[in-house]
């Protein structure tokens, strides 16, 4: 989609049924200890007020709501640890795809990244988790192309190395100063406090040497897809057990409706945790025996 057409969608985004307290209650009632809200994804739209000059955020467009502010207050009210997801990428800047050809654009994108992270770390009280996505050299151009005796695709697993830098150490030095108790994941060049494994297929092996977390979507996609049913009850329980059995945390993603509500069937599935311990022993045994060898033994 043309970025100009995409930007117009902000004029119709009005999550008038969003209730941060309800979101936090769903998480708390499920026994969760922390939450992570997508403050800005790769599309560039921020759910908080920002001094970034493009004005592409939920306060300066149709919603007229500071979603991040409402969320952080609600999470703390439920005594949850507060996490914020942030992507330095902005697909509307050609510099993300060709940082050397459009170096000025890439630098403007970086300036927005630094400005907005600084705002998130200084305007919303104590933040416990900064969950980066889309940063670092592997994401520039999504593999992209490079000039090496002719244009060719950048080989998979080979990071970008050119004239542009995100200057992650610079901004995350400020993050550490502003939020000294915060933990960072591993999706920038800054040394990480915990590792991120994405999607159930990448759950990996047992690891109790490095803190890690599995992030996985509850309904098969990270955003909202109408009519998409959540994973089955047994699947969710087994996913939790497989993750914890490998010494990891599970970050279960929900894509809310455009009006800001969590789908009822997804909310019900999230709240499984409170019922697990009261399930009949025979039923729980069958669930655990369906798990692979050593994990079932645990």
For the chain, the domain total comes to 2
Cα separation, 125 vs 270, in Å, equals 27
Specify the pLDDT at position 195: 97
Residues 75/35, Cβ–Cβ less than 8 Å: yes
Judge if 38 and 179 occupy the same domain.
yes
How do residues 147-183 score in pLDDT, each as one tens digit? 777 887 777 777 888 889 999 999 999 999 999 999 9
Residue 148: Cβ within 10 Å count = 9
Judge if 86 and 179 occupy the same domain.
yes
SS3 category, 87: coil
Judge if 254 and 266 occupy the same domain.
yes
Give how far the C-alpha of residue 108 lies from the chain's centroid of Cα atoms, to the nearest Å.
Answer: 23
Cα separation, 14 vs 236, in Å, equals 31
Q: Of 161, 191, 221, which residue sits at a domain end?
A: 191
What's phi and psi for 148, nearest 5 deg?
A: -145, 85
The token pair that represents 206 in the structure block: 């047992």
Structure pTM? 0.89
Judge if 15 and 136 occupy the same domain.
yes
Judge if 262 and 291 occupy the same domain.
yes
How do residues 23-47 score in pLDDT, each as one tens digit? 999 999 999 999 999 999 999 999 9
Judge if 174 and 215 occupy the same domain.
no
Residue 278 has pLDDT above 60, yes or no: no
Higher pLDDT, 242 or 273: 242
Q: Of 143, 176, 191, which residue sits at a domain end?
A: 191
SS3 category, 105: helix
Judge if 120 and 255 occupy the same domain.
no
Judge if 69 and 102 occupy the same domain.
yes
Q: Of 191, 220, 251, which residue sits at a domain end?
A: 191
Judge if 155 and 253 occupy the same domain.
no
Judge if 147 and 1 occupy the same domain.
yes
Mean pLDDT of 82-107: 93
Q: pLDDT band for position 228 (50/70/90)? A: very high
Cα separation, 72 vs 243, in Å, equals 27
Q: Which residue range is the domain that position 8 belongs to?
A: 1-191
- Rounded to 10 degrees, what is the CA torsion of 61, 62, 68, 69? 100
Task: Indicate which CATH number applies to the domain containing 83.
Answer: 3.20.20.80
The mean-pLDDT minimum among 74-78, 141-145, 158-162, 274-278 falls in 274-278
Residue 104 has pLDDT above 90, yes or no: yes
Judge if 163 and 273 occupy the same domain.
no
The token pair that represents 114 in the structure block: 């630094």
What pairing do the DSSP bridges indicate for beta strands 129-132 and 183-184? parallel
Specify the pLDDT at position 152: 77
What's phi and psi for 36, nearest 5 deg?
A: -135, 120
Residue position matching structure tokens 């100063």 = 177
Judge if 95 and 227 occupy the same domain.
no
Specify the pLDDT at position 295: 45
């Amino acid at each position: 989609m043309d970025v100009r057409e995409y930007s117009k969608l902000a004029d119709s985004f009005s999550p008038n049924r969003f209730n941060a307290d309800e979101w936090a209650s769903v998480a708390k009632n499920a026994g969760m200890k922390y939450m992570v809200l997508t403050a800005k994804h790769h599309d560039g739209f921020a759910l908080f007020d920002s001094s970034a000059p493009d004005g592409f955020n939920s306060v300066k467009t149709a919603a007229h709501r500071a979603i991040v502010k409402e969320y952080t207050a609600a999470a703390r009210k439920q005594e949850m640890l507060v996490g914020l997801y942030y992507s330095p990428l902005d697909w509307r800047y050609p510099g993300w795809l060709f940082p050397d050809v459009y170096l000025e654009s890439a630098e403007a994108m970086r300036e927005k990244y630094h400005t907005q992270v600084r705002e998130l770390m200084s305007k919303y009280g104590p933040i416990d988790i900064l969950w980066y996505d889309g940063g670092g050299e592997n994401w520039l151009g999504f593999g992209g192309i490079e000039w090496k005796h002719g244009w060719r695709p950048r080989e998979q697993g080979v990071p970008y190395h050119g004239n542009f830098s995100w200057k992650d150490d610079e901004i995350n030095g400020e993050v550490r100063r502003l939020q000294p108790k915060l933990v960072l994941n591993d999706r920038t060049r800054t040394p990480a406090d915990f590792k991120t494994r994405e999607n159930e297929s990448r759950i990996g092996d047992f690891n109790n040497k490095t803190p890690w977390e599995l992030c996985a979507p509850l309904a098969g996609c990270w955003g909202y897809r109408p009519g998409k049913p959540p994973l089955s009850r047994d699947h969710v329980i087994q996913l939790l057990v497989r993750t914890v059995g490998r010494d990891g945390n599970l970050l279960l993603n929900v894509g809310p409706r455009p009006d800001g509500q969590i789908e009822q069937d997804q909310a019900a599935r999230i709240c499984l945790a409170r019922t697990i311990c009261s399930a009949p022993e025979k039923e729980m045994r069958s669930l655990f025996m369906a798990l692979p060898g050593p994990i079932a033994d645990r």
